[in-house]
Every structure is written in structure tokens, then in C-alpha cells.
């Protein structure tokens, strides 16, 4: 498949492992950037061992490393370091998610890299960031979900603090690093000077908590776990139906009135307890009872169809099979796409979710085997001779 992506031409040296960094560079790869994934010889990215496994290969790894080329470099080896610095001279972007200080210890921190290429844009993703008193703490997604306040506000009154069902802080960190990098690329057009972007998983998740932080900042009230409702709006919640659970989001005056009509309860839209959004939030308990009196006598499918016909946002709660088999999500929006992997074989991965009219994203190549593109990158791109590559291999540099 040809690469007509928006970022074709950008060269990224990708030192990232696990999820946050690879998710960031996956987005770039899908948009056509030239991603050179650099892994430790023999061992490689930790996620090469992670479930789920398919025909002996990790599809955790395959999914988020498609469209990248893979090389190996032992960055503790001096020959590998020198080669890496030569690569930095020809690259636009370096991305890494090592623990802060690791690259500096290797002599490959931003201060070192910008000496060989002042235009380089260097992005770090870490648990707590490269500054501040916790910078040396190790950070994974679950650590950031815990310390950002997200887990304390997800779940049910009286229940346990709850981790979101996906590695959300990693994804937020990866998306945020992508924004920082692309903004620095934009800025660089003026004077050719790069910079360092420092994204912490904790910070990215704190930012995502938007209104939740604001409640404490202005009211002094600590937001707690409140189930599925939202602090800013009501009725905007899950409601029990005859055969399951339905989501209704009547998030403004017009939608509230339409919901009252759908329930054949026009009296409610005149009720002073519910006459504006703040009053509906204040009376959410009784309002939930009222809406559930109606939903409990109906089936989810009927409720969703009836409410959508009225123009009221409503949805079933899909399990993953329903998501994957939904024709809108899977087919119309191309959120699951075919990929042929040299070892795992034919499988489907998650498609790119950013849809461009002029420069469509694409899944063109499978994730690399460990060191698969050593020859290609070192000889074709870096101009090393076969003998030189062999020497690097023999010395343990690659």
C-alpha cells in the first residue's frame, strides 16, 4: 500500500517500549512518518512477551508497532552510541520513555543530541516527568491512574477505587506527546531549532480530569466515586431496563424536554425541581428513580431506538464482541483492519481513528521482527558497508 500520509517525510528515531511511547509513534507511523524502532539486541521491547499471543507472536506488540521498521542497538556499547548519534543527525524526532536520567547516563540526553543536531525534537514520556521531586520514581499506567485522582473517582459509592479498563494514562501520555512533538515541528519551521518535550503520565491524566479538579479547587469538596453519573449534568447516566442497561444523555434543556416527551411525562419539564441543569443535578436521585420507572418496563433495544428517533442521545453498552462486529465501527469507520504478519499470519488489528480527507492513514506493513531492518536501515539509509555492519554485529553493538 502506498504511503500518502500527512507526515510522510518526517524521520523518527523511536526508542520507546511498552505502550505510551509506541502508541504515540504508531499514530505517526499510520500517518506516514518514517519510524525507526530501536530495540535492545536479543531482548527487544518487553511487550514482545505480553499476552495475547497468536501463533507464538504477541499481538499486543503487533497492534501498536505496525508500520514501523525495527533495528537493534545496544546503547551501552560505544560503537552503537556513535552510530545512534550519526542517525540523530539525519532525523527530525527522537522519542523515548525510559526512566528519567537513563538517556543522560548513556550520554544521549537532549543536551548531547542537540549538539549534533540543533533541529532535533526530543520527546520524553515518563511516569512523573523529567523535573520535580518524584522524577526518579518509576511510573506505569496504573501508577498514574492512582496518583492523578482518576481511580479515586472511578467506580461506585462504597466500592473500591477502580482502574479504567484500558491503560488510559499511557494512551493519554502518548497522545499528548504527539501533540507536543507536532507543535514543536511547527515552531521549528521558523528558525530550524528543536526542543525537548516532557510529558508525564500523571500530568496528562490530571489534565484529563477537567471538571473533577475544578470541584475541589473552587468548592473545596472532594469528588468521590459516584457510579455512572456526571457531576455537571443530569439525566446523563445508565438506567436499568427489562433486559440490561441503557445509557441516556439528555445533556441540555432541549434534550431534557425531548426525553420528557419520550417518557410521556411532559409534566416533568414543568417541574421546578428539574427546570435547569443545576437543579437536575441536585435532584439526580429522584430523577433517576423517575426515569428508571419507565426504562425498567422496556427493553434496551426499544429504548435506544425510541430515544434516537426522538433525537435524545441513547446507547446500549457494548461488549468487545459487539464493538468488533458492529458494522458502523468495524466497516464504515474502518476501526478494524487486516494485517499479514510474517510469523503470526493473517489477523485484524485496531485501525487508526484520525480520519483525513486528503492524506488518509493506512496500515501498510506489519510490526518488525527484532532487528528485521538492520541491513536496510544501516546500509541504505546510513550508508554502512556490509563489512561494517558485520563488525557492529560481532562487537555486540547491534
- Strand 53-54 and strand 57-58: pairing? antiparallel
Choose, by CB under 8 A, the member of 85, 112, 163, 369 that binds a second copy. Answer: 163
Interacting stretch for a second copy, rule CB under 8 A, among 79-87, 349-357, 366-374, 386-394?
A: 349-357
Closest-CA residue to 48 (of 348, 393, 344, 395): 344
Q: Which range binds a second copy by CB under 8 A, 135-143, 261-269, 371-379, 382-390? A: 135-143
* CB distance 6 to 31 below 8 Å: yes
Cα–Cα distance measured from residue 259 to residue 256, given in angstroms and rounded to the nearest whole number: 5
Q: Which of the stretches 75-83, 264-272, 351-359, 362-370 binds a second copy when contact is defined by CB under 8 A?
A: 351-359
* Catalytic residue selected from 30, 45, 170, 198: 170
C-beta neighbour count of 43 within 10 angstroms? 12
394 binds a second copy, rule: CB under 8 A: no
Does 63 help bind a second copy (rule: CB under 8 A)?
yes
Q: How far apart are CA 204 and CA 211, in angstroms?
A: 14
170 carries an active-site annotation: yes
Of 1, 2, 210, 387, which one interacts with a second copy (CB under 8 A)? 210
| Residue 111 grid cell | 543536551
Give the rounded distance of the alpha carbon of 221 from its chain centre.
30
Which residue in the set 42, 52, 105, 296 belongs to the binding site for a second copy (CB under 8 A)?
52
- Assess 302 for contact with a second copy (CB under 8 A): no
Q: How far is the CB of 366 from a second copy (least distance, A)?
A: 14
Cell numbers 500527512 correspond to: 6
Choose, by CB under 8 A, the member of 40, 86, 104, 231 that binds a second copy. 231
DSSP assignment, residue 105? H
Question: CB 94 → a second copy: shortest distance, Å?
Answer: 13
- How many beta carbons lie within 10 A of that of residue 156, not counting itself? 11
**Distance of closest approach, residue 162 Cβ to a second copy, in angstroms:** 6
Q: Can residue 227 be called a binding residue for a second copy (CB under 8 A)? A: yes
Please report how close the Cβ of residue 1 comes to a second copy at its closest, in angstroms. 18
Cell output for 326: 458492529
Considering only residues 138 to 157 of the shown chain, the ones binding a second copy according to CB under 8 A are 138-143, 145-156
Q: Which helix (H) or strand (E) holds 34?
A: strand 34-39
Nearest alpha-carbon partner for 26 in 356, 329, 204, 17? 17
Burial label for 141, CB within 10 Å (0-12, 13-18, 19+), is: buried
Q: Which is nearer to a second copy, 72 or 361 (CB)?
A: 361
Round to whole Å and give the CA distance between 11 and 34.
5
217, 267, 383, 394: which one contacts a second copy (CB under 8 A)?
A: 217
Only one of the segments 67-75, 260-268, 272-280, 367-375 lies at the binding site for a second copy (rule: CB under 8 A); that segment is: 272-280
Decide whether 227 or 342 has the Cβ nearer to a second copy: 227
**Binder of a second copy out of 175, 290, 370, 382 (CB under 8 A):** 175
User: Is 1 an interacting residue with respect to a second copy (CB under 8 A)?
Assistant: no
Q: Quick one: which of 74, 233, 362, 374 contacts a second copy (CB under 8 A)?
A: 233
Separation between Cα atoms, residue 139 and residue 97, nearest integer Å = 10
Specify whether the CB–CB gap between 398 and 71 falls below 8 A.
yes
Closest distance between a second copy and the C-beta of residue 72, in Å? 18
The pattern of x and - marking residues 309 through 328 that bind a second copy according to CB under 8 A reads --xxxxxxxxxxxxxx-xxx
Cβ neighbours around 355 below 10 Å, total: 10
Distance CA 63, CA 73 (A): 22
H or E, element range at 285? helix 284-295
Q: Which of 185, 290, 369, 382 is in the footprint of a second copy by CB under 8 A?
A: 185
Subset of 67-96 contacting a second copy (CB under 8 A): none
> Which amino acids are annotated catalytic?
170
Amino acid at each position: 500500500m502506498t504511503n500518502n500520509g500527512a507526515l510522510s517525510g518526517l524521520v523518527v528515531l523511536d526508542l520507546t517500549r511498552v505502550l505510551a511511547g509506541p502508541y504515540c509513534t504508531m499514530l505517526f507511523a499510520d500517518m506516514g512518518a518514517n519510524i525507526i524502532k530501536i530495540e535492545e539486541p536479543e531482548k527487544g521491547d518487553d511487550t514482545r512477551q505480553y499476552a495475547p499471543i497468536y501463533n507464538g507472536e504477541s499481538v499486543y506488540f503487533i497492534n501498536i508497532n505496525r508500520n514501523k521498521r525495527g533495528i537493534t542497538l545496544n546503547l551501552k556499547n560505544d560503537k552503537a552510541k556513535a552510530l545512534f548519534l550519526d542517525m540523530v543527525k539525519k532525523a527530525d524526532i527522537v522519542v523515548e520513555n525510559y526512566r528519567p536520567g537513563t538517556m543522560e547516563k548513556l550520554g544521549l540526553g537532549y543536551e548531547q543530541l542537540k549538539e549534533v543536531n540543533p533541529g532535533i525534537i526530543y520527546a520524553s514520556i515518563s511516569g512523573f516527568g523529567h523535573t520535580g521531586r518524584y522524577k526518579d520514581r518509576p511510573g506505569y499506567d496504573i501508577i498514574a491512574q492512582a496518583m492523578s485522582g482518576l481511580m479515586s473517582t472511578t467506580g461506585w459509592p462504597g466500592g473500591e477505587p477502580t482502574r479504567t479498563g484500558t491503560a488510559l494514562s499511557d494512551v493519554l501520555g502518548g497522545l499528548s506527546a504527539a501533540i507536543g512533538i507536532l507543535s514543536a515541528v511547527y515552531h521549528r519551521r521558523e528558525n530550524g531549532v528543536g526542543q525537548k518535550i516532557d510529558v508525564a503520565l500523571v500530568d496528562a491524566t490530571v489534565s484529563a480530569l477537567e471538571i473533577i479538579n475544578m470541584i475541589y479547587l473552587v468548592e473545596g469538596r472532594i469528588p468521590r466515586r459516584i457510579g455512572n453519573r456526571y457531576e455537571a449534568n443530569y439525566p446523563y447516566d445508565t438506567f436499568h431496563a427489562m433486559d440490561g442497561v441503557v445509557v441516556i444523555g439528555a445533556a441540555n434543556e432541549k434534550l431534557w424536554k425531548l426525553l420528557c416527551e419520550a417518557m410521556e411525562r411532559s409534566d416533568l419539564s414543568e417541574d421546578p425541581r428539574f427546570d435547569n441543569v443545576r437543579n437536575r443535578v441536585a435532584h439526580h436521585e429522584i430523577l433517576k428513580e423517575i426515569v428508571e420507572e419507565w426504562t425498567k418496563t422496556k427493553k434496551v433495544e426499544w429504548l435506544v431506538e425510541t430515544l434516537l428517533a426522538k433525537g435524545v442521545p441513547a446507547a446500549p453498552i457494548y461488549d468487545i464482541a459487539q464493538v468488533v462486529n458492529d458494522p458502523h465501527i468495524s466497516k464504515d469507520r474502518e476501526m478494524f483492519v487486516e494485517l499479514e504478519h510474517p510469523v503470526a499470519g493473517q489477523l485484524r488489528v485496531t485501525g487508526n481513528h484520525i480520519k483525513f480527507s486528503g492524506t488518509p492513514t493506512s496500515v501498510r506493513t506489519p510490526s518488525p521482527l527484532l532487528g528485521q531492518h538492520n541491513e536496510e536501515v544501516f546500509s541504505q539509509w546510513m550508508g554502512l558497508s556490509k563489512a561494517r555492519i558485520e563488525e557492529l554485529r560481532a562487537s555486540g553493538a547491534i
